[in-house]
Structure 1
Amino acid sequence: MATSHLLSIFILALISLSPIGQAKRNTPSEQKQAPFEFIKTLQGCHKGNKTKEIHNLKNYLHQFGYLQYPNRTHANYNDDFDETLESAVKTYQRNYHINPTGTLDAITVSTMTTTRCGVADIINGDNTMQKSGTKKHESGSSGHIHTVSHYSFFPGNLRWPPSRTHLTFGFSPNTPAGAVAPVVRAFQRWDAATHFTFSQAPSGRSADMVIGFHRRNHGDGAPFDGPGGTLAHAFAPTNGRFHYDADERWSIGPVPNAFDLETVALHEIGHLLGLGHSSVEAAIMYPRLSSGRTKGLNADDIQGIRALYNV
């Protein structure tokens, strides 16, 4: 009986999310190549090559903060694998713990083509993913243990004022009913791990943070790219905006070829609170997420939020 009841709840949740899936199936972009798939054709490329699609790789690295020519012109963003591009690829490889050869080897291509958060890894030239957090020394049975945290903050350490420890959140009218509960659970998990408390704002009342589902260019300067690219993005304090890409296939829990709403919410709420990306793969603030997976808060995430707010 209990199993039947849980199954009914799961089916209802999927039904409530079905408008997103249906709209996605009817979108012409469904028939197109996933946004990052072009990188697979560039495997093996290195400095000195002139190969079709390299200009798209330059745009990709520019989007996530790795590449910025002194003057962004059409002539710069061509198909020449130049020294500036090689340097950008090496920086990307270092951020993701790949041997920094500057060549698009198989592991680099695999990493670049994984779906991810739309927030850049390098913001205004500040490569936070290469900054270590606090260092700790702990003694154990095997002797002296050295650990390093790799959380990061937005440039300027943007955060909510000390007086704002209770924050409210709300949902845009376009949010599917089934997406509300996973986001609420994500806020509850951050609530339990931080000095913040969160509550959902009453209907019709303004909120500190607003969650919504959007497609393509939706007016915030950070357009989505359709299925299989960037999953969501959020803004640093105290902006409060958190957007899912409505063209993705969303799920509640780990479902093959779909993305868990709660896991993505945990990541984006971290941005809303002021955390940048982490180079620790187990951390919720790690930028990449494959389909069919769930994640929770990691010690690196909790250390980061406590360091940012000095609590």
Structure 2
Amino acid sequence: MAPKKVFLSALSLLLVVLQPSLVESRPPEPPRKHLSNLFQNLDESHKGQNLKGLHLVKQYLKNLGYYPNGVDVTTNDDFDDHLESAIKTYQQYYHLNVTGNLDPHTIKALSELRCGVPDFFVLDQNLTTNSSKVKFAIQYSFFPNNPKWPTTKRDLTYSFKSGDGIYVDLALIRPIVERAYKRWQDVSPLTFKEGNSNSNIKIGFFRRDHGDGKPFDGPGKVCAHAFAPQDGRVHFDADEPNWKFGPRH
């Protein structure tokens, strides 16, 4: 769920907004270097350069769907054709000036908190430097193949299960989640109530690689992700320091 773009199947991520006191990660993980720390060294970087940390930008953009399949982005810090193309596509998608460089506006956009669901567009797998070979979606989209809860499953249950070493204050979380699903219940044929460990929807806070193939990235950027029906997992990044209850300002 990118900034200002919503995947309808995961809207509960926007409805459940939490206070900082709700989550405590124990024990703390050793500090790591994140993209936001690297941007001061990457400002105005462009094709042809080799700068430490560019491979992390590549990994981030690949996770969001901006790289063709099969392109290795693990360790190479070269600002190559693929990175320039990925940045151009990102800039075009977010209506930025399409330069192919990591300019200040692009860095600011990349630094925003967002859902980990990739941005929705059709990327030509032979794409190199021609960002025109991208078909953009409208401002919202369903998951591929439009998965839904079956008509026989309208009374859904949810439960809470967070990662090891993460303390969650359920006394505070429960009424917030209940309020969020009440809003869904008012405008849909679905009902929601808290259930047991076999619930349809499983809500939890996790850190880094937590076994679902979509590792979190620490403070900043990706703050949550959800899986389509009938999977039902809704995961929040426990490393985020600014969870709060209320509208975003």
Is TM (by shorter chain) over 0.5? yes
Inter-partner Cα distance in structure 2 for 1:182 and 1:129:
38
Inter-partner Cα distance in structure 2 for 1:193 and 1:235:
21
**Structure 2, unpaired ranges of 5+:** 1-17, 125-133
Query: Shift of the alpha carbon at 1:48?
Result: 2.3
- Aligned CA RMSD, in angstroms, stands at 3.1
- Give the aligned partner of residue 130 of structure 2: none
Q: Between Structure 1 and Structure 2, whose CA radius of gyration is higher?
A: 1
2:152 is equivalent to residue 176 of structure 1: no
Q: CA 1:50 to 1:16, structure 2 compared with 1: closer, same or farther past 3 Å?
A: closer
Inter-partner Cα distance in structure 1 for 2:174 and 2:84:
43
Number of aligned residue pairs: 219
- Give the aligned partner of residue 230 of structure 1: 222
Picking from 122, 125, 137, the partner of 1:131 is 137
TM-score in terms of structure 1 length:
0.61
Inter-partner Cα distance in structure 2 for 1:15 and 1:60:
26
Q: Higher mean Cα deviation, 217-226 or 55-64?
A: 217-226
Question: Helix, strand or coil for the counterpart of 1:212?
Answer: strand
- Give the aligned partner of residue 60 of structure 2: 60
Please give the per-residue CA displacement for 1:114-144, whole angstroms capped at 9, x wherever unaligned.
2221222248959x99212xxxxxxxxxxxx
Question: Helix, strand or coil for the counterpart of 2:192?
Answer: strand
Inter-partner Cα distance in structure 2 for 1:90 and 1:186:
36
**Structure 1, unpaired ranges of 5+:** 1-12, 133-149, 250-257, 264-292, 295-311
- Give the aligned partner of residue 51 of structure 1: 51
- Give the aligned partner of residue 260 of structure 1: 244
Q: CA 1:94 to 1:194, structure 2 compared with 1: closer, same or farther past 3 Å?
A: farther
Q: Higher mean Cα deviation, 80-89 or 33-42?
A: 33-42
After TM superposition, the structure 1 = structure 2 runs for residues 1-311 of structure 1, keeping only pairs within 5 Å, are 17=22, 20-21=23-24, 23=26, 26-29=28-31, 32-68=32-68, 70-72=70-72, 77-122=75-120, 130-132=136-138, 150-172=139-161, 175-177=168-170, 178-201=172-195, 204=196, 206-249=198-241, 258-260=242-244, 293=248
Say if 1:215 and 1:224, in contact at 8 Å, map to a contact too. yes
Aligned residues with identical type, % of pairs: 40
Inter-partner Cα distance in structure 2 for 1:71 and 1:169:
38
Query: Shift of the alpha carbon at 1:21?
Result: 3.7
Say if 1:35 and 1:226, in contact at 8 Å, map to a contact too. no
Inter-partner Cα distance in structure 2 for 1:112 and 1:260:
22
